[in-house]
Structure formats: C-alpha cells, structure tokens
Amino acid sequence: MIGQTIAHYRIIEKIGAGGMGEVYRARDEHLARDVAIKVLPPGTLTDESARKHFRKEALILSQLNHPNVATIYDFDTQQGVDFLVMEYIPGITLNEKVAAGALPEKEVLRLGVQLAEGLAAAHEHGIVHRDLKPGNLRVTGDGRLKILDFGLAKLWRPVTATATTESLSETHAMAGTLPYMAPEQLLGEEIDARTDLHAAGLVLYEMATGRYPFADVEHSQLIGAILRRPPRPPAALNSRLSPELERIIGKCLEKEPENRYQSAKELAIDLRRLLTPSTVTRPIQRRKFGVGKTIPLAAACSVAVLLALILGLNPGGIRDRLFGRTAYAPIRSLAVLPLVNLSGDPEQEYFADGMTEALITDLSKIRALKVISRTSVMQFKDAKKPLPDIAQALGVDGILEGSVQRSGGRVRITAQLIRAATDTHLWAESYERDTSDVLTLQAEVAQAIAREIKAAVSPEETNTLGRSIPVDPDAYEAYLKGQSHWYQLSREHLDAALGYFELALQKQPTYARAYVGVANVWLERGDAGSMPPSEAIPQAKAAISKALALDGTLSEAHIALANIAGPYDHDWAAAELEFRRGLELNPNSADGHFMYADFLVSMKRVDEWNTEIHRTLELDPFNPFFRCFYGWHLVYLQRYDEAIAQFRSVLATAPEFSSAHMGLWGAYYKTGMNEEAMVEARKFFSVLHDREVEQALTRGYSESGYARAMHLGAEVLAARSKRTYVPAVRIARLYAHAGDKEQVLHWLQRACDEREIPLSHLGVAWDWDSVRSDPRFQDLLRRVGLPQ
C-alpha cells in the first residue's frame, strides 16, 4: 500500500502489524499532518451492521483525550478497505526500548507514572484497555509515553494474541494478548480497571528487569502459571531495584483483583512518591513477592462510599484531580475549519460549507467565546498547514475540524476539538440525523462543543443553542445553494442566489432565514449601484419584515434592518437600536460589528468606532471587504498613510477588489500623488469592465492632466445616466476630483433624492471637502440626518 492514497491519506510507510491489522504512517493531505492508519484484516467487518457497530465503538473511544493516550480520529471505509485513523506517535515501542535490558529505576518510575495517569483518565471514562502490553506503549524522543490501541481489543472477536516475542505468541478467543492477561480474563470473569493494572504491573516488571515474568514457562503451562504461580521476584533479576518499587509491582500482580491497587490513580501516587521522595522517609522492608494482604471490610466499604460520592458529584473538581484528568484552561477563542465533504461528490461542497457556516452561527451566540467568521476560515479550505500555524494566523486557542456526509436521507457530522498550541485533541464525536432534522443536528453539535470548551454560557444562550425549528429538507438545500451563490457577490451569482432563496420559500413559506437571504440580495443590489435604491430597498424591507415576524431572534435580520433604517430611511436612532439588538443576539457577528462601526464613523463617534472595527478584524481577519473598508474609514479620519498601507495589503491578496482600488485612488489624491491616483482610477473602472470611462480617463489625462481626466469620466457617466441607472454619488465623486463644485452639488442632490446608500458617509467623506462649507451641502446633511 506504500504510496497509495486512501480517502485523503497518503500512505508513507508500514510501521507495524498484528492480529488487529497492519499499521501505516500516512499523511493527512487535508490537514497537513502525519497520522497512523490501522487497516483492518479483510473480512473483519462482514457487513454494514458490523461496520456500524465498529464505528459506534470507535467514536466512543475517540472521546478519550489525555497526553499519555494516543487519540483515535476517525473510522472509514474506502474501496472496500476498513481503516482507523489515529494519532501518529514518533519514537519507539516500549518493547524495543526494553530489548536492551532493564531500565534505570528513575526512568521506570517516570514512564510508570505516565502509564498510570493515562490509564486513570481512560478508566474515569469507563474505558478499559484489555490489551495493555509493551508493544502497545510508545515512547517519544523527549520521554513521553503514549498508550496505543486503547479499548480496541473488544472490537475484534476473535483476536490473535501477539506477545512481546515470538516464543510467547499464542492465540486465544478472548480479547487481549495471552501473556498479558489477568487471571480473571483467562477465566472469562468480569473485567474492570484493575485488569489493566495487572497488565501495568507486567509492564513495570519488564521495564525493571528487562524480562517477562514467565519467560521460562512452556506454552502449554502459561495459563496455569498466570492463574496460580507467583512471578519471580524482580530483585532476583535486578539487585539494584528498591524494595518499594518491588512492592508496587507485586501489588499490581496480585491474582485477586481486590488485592491489587483499586485505581490507576493510587498506582500513580505511589510511583510519583517514590520518584520524588520526601526529605523524611521510613525504611521499607522487602516483603515476600506475590503475597498480598486484604483490606478490612469496613475500610473497604468506607472507601467505596467515598469514591462513589466523588465519582458522582465531582466536588470542586476533585474527581478530575483524583483520576488524573488534565485541568485544561477553558478555550476562549475558536475557529471552525471548513468541514470536509465526505460524499465524494464535488457538487456537494455547498452542503459542507453550509454546515460549517451553521456551526459558526450557532457558536457565535456565546458571548464569552470569540468565534472566527466564515470568510476567514474559508481561506484555509483544503489548506495544507499545521493546525498551530492556522490557529496563530486566526488568533485562536481552539480549532474545530471535522467532516460531513449526506447519504440516503441522513446527515452525519463528525467533529474534533483541538487545543491549537499543542495540537492536543480534547474531544471528538459523531452525530447523525435525518435531513429533516438537520437544524437539530447542528444544535446538538454546538451544545456539545460549548460544554467541552467550558465556555461560560448563560441560561438564555443555552436555550438559544438548544433551539431548532423544523425545516423542509428541500427548502434547506435550496437555502444552502443560495448562500453559496450569495458569497460570490457578482451580478450573476446574486441572481442565482435570489432564485434559490425564493425556491426555498416556495418549499417552506415560513422559512425565516430564506427571507433574510432575499433581503440581503436586494440590499446588495441597491448598495452596489446595479439598480436604483428606490426600487431595491423596499423589496429588502418587505422581506426583512416577514423574517422578523417569523423569528425575532435572527441577528442577521436585525442587522439588515439597521442597514435600511439608517442609510435609506435616515432614521439613525432606529438603526442603532437594531444594531445593538443584532449584536446582543450574536456577539460574534463580524458583519454586525463592521456595519455598526461604519455607522459610528458616520456619526463621528471615533472612540466607539475604534472598538468596533478592531473587534470586526479580530473575528474576521482575512475578510478583504472589512479590511478594505477599514482603509476607507482611515481615509475619512485623515490617516492617509495607514489607509494606503491597508489598501495595498488588501490588493496583495485580492488584486481585483474594486473598492480597494477606489480607496487607494482617493488616498493618493488626498496626499497629492495625482499620477498614482490616476493609475488606481483607471484600475477601478477596468475591474468594473467599464472600458468607456477608462478610455475617457486616459484621454483626458494625456490632454491636460488629472482634473481633465476626471471631468471627461464624469461626463461619460452623466450621459449614460440618461439611458440607464448610474449611481449619482459616483458621478459627483468624479466631478469633485475635477474641482467642479456646482456639478458636485447637483449630483449629490440627485443622490439624496434617490436615497443612495453611500450618502451615509456624506458628513465624513473627503470627496466633499470642497463644498462642505456651502449652505446647500449643509442642507443635504440635515436632510440625511447626519451630524454637521
């Protein structure tokens, strides 16, 4: 299989084999990291029912996360091959490490503590390894021990028991490897965490002595030795071994579970105490190895009751500390990376992207959590970058990655939560529902993530996260297709988006989000200059009214209404109320924060603007639109050098972004760089495919310079406006550059009559500096309701 690709995993090398299948190191091409692929033997899973059971069990195991436990990422079937995807651990197995002989006692203790703590974390989740042995333990170059294949033994029936050496290889129908089975496993009795502690004792024995305890026993006598014969004392093989470590190993290897350590945490405490002894110690006499002592019944009952209370109530987090769970700090910022489309159909990308956006929207409602917006995370779709690098670029400490698959009327989302700085997997889960319950599915995933990141979620936010409205599957599909087109923002895509939103409403007339989609298309048409606002905005207003009547909790509906109330209705007080309500419902709405910042700059409330615009850029750092209009705001505030740098930064990654060329054009003009301004003016109209104006600018500039160029460009647009709609503000801007004040005021009056959206910047835009003191301009400001 070397060199082949399964799903999006490129097989690099074979790193192991056994009864549970072959193991390969592979490269995850989506996330640019190495993983371990365990390929199940052919015929292990005989049908889909078996695969479903295996997947269910594997997903349970994938929830286990601890620094000393290798994480299971996924289970999949591709081209008839069933395989598990797991964390790749560089280094060597403990098997290889002890092959050279006994380890120094301090190293035995250091590795033993890690082993016990990893077991404690798993046992606290109710997961027993069942097949613990040196071959399932890996040691990295920096001395970190990782437990492999946790809980997988119970997924195979029967299992080939592969021991440490070929001489010990034996087949047994029970889960596990014969030489490392506890007596109760061999007898078919109930097993629990103490079964793993017996195996841990065998591992400690091998590290301390370099030998398996029953290495001299014939195959046919091995079961009898495990059941009845005490192991040879470790000190007989390693005289330098301390009596206390020998006692610890002996307690682990007691034949009766009740005579062993009762929890892995107890074992960890004793090993750690020996590793870091106190200044006052009492001498420990070497006892007869393999002979234990029983716990009095009353004491055992007291411990059991206390332990039950701790397990059930976890007062003050004591359970987590007692059982070794790492106390991670809460995640306060999160990026939901684009979910991988597992359908195999590229035409389904819109569905995966829609699921990603839905999760972002739901999680954004948590005020205590910073959630990166869609536009910025989409920059990393199919990116082959390490997760810590992505997290650093986005300014977050948590990453959510996963996949989505839609098949046969069902939708399945698999999600993994990762602490970005260390690439540590904290949680993983899979959720599946009918397509008619897709919103409930999204809510379940969002609620689970909120729990796992330990976010401070208010009762109101909890109710909001758990709230879902039934949606017709066909309506939802049409809505997602509409959203996919909406984000493209070209005239053709806007037309397609509107068609899909309207189709969604035909399928489900009560679908509030589809009405918001309709409104956004009309708002964009009115703002972008493709049609008169007096035609577009009433359509947007009607759609928003219907959306809010159906669902008053939609943040995006309130934000859209604010953008109508202020720039079109000139009711700025109402606009601010809607902005505040929208941001209350979704504190992480980058759109909401940006549009509120735009409102604040128009109101000349610079300190508040500064807060909102920087919050916008925190939430959506790679959005070229926000970065561009931050540059525009800097121009309004006469911070021209900063603005020029900002526009250049945008154009470095989005060279066809027309608004950035227009902003750079203005910034150059205000700093006296007319030649550079002329270049950007031509680029602006070139990006708009307005060859006529571009040629007029070139001709005018060659005739007599910048002012003449602007005048000819304005005349072209003015003549065109007699045949079709041209934004009057655009014509006024060109006349402003030409220095024609009367024409500027004439066209601004026309813009005011048409209620053009860009008039919201009338009081701050530098374009109107030449007419700002004119009483007619002051009258326009009063008509629009802006500060003088």
The CA–CA distances, whole Å, from 577 to 370, 561, 581, 605, 691 equal 23, 10, 6, 16, 43
- Cα 668 to Cα 571, 664, 680: the distances in Å are 34, 6, 9
DSSP string, 582-624: HHHH-TT-HHHHHHHHHHHHHTT-HHHHHHHHHHHHHH-TT-H
Give the closest residue to 130 by CA, choosing from 157, 94, 99. 157
Nearest C-alpha neighbor of 752 from the set 598, 520, 570:
570
Alpha-carbon span 16 to 24, nearest angstrom:
7
Provide the 10 A C-beta neighbour count for residue 614: 13
Q: What dihedral angle (degrees, nearest 10) is formed by the CA atoms of 426, 384, 481, 346?
A: -110
DSSP for 113-182, please give it: HHHHHHHHHHHHTT---S---GGGEEE-TTS-EEE-STTGGGGSSSEEE--SSGGG-EEESSSS-GGG--
Single out the residue of 301, 396, 407, 415 nearest to residue 358, CA to CA: 415
Nearest one of 121, 72, 95 to 179, comparing CA atoms: 95
367, two tokens = 């005020």
Measured CA to CA in angstroms, residue 545 lies from 283, 550, 552 at distances of 82, 9, 10
β-pair partners for 417: 400, 427
Interhelix angle 658-670/624-636, rounded to 10 degrees, is: 20
CA–CA dist 483, 470 (Å, integer): 19
Give the tokens for residue 633: 């705001």
For 683, other C-beta atoms within 10 Å of its C-beta total 20
What is the C-alpha to C-alpha distance for residues 222 and 216, in angstroms, rounded to an integer? 9
CB–CB of 35/26 below 8 Å? Answer: yes
- How many residues does the structure list for the chain? 788
- Quote the tokens at residue 759: 């008039």
Residue 670 counted as an annotated binding residue: no
Q: Which residues are annotated as a binding site for ATP?
A: 38
Return binding residues. 38
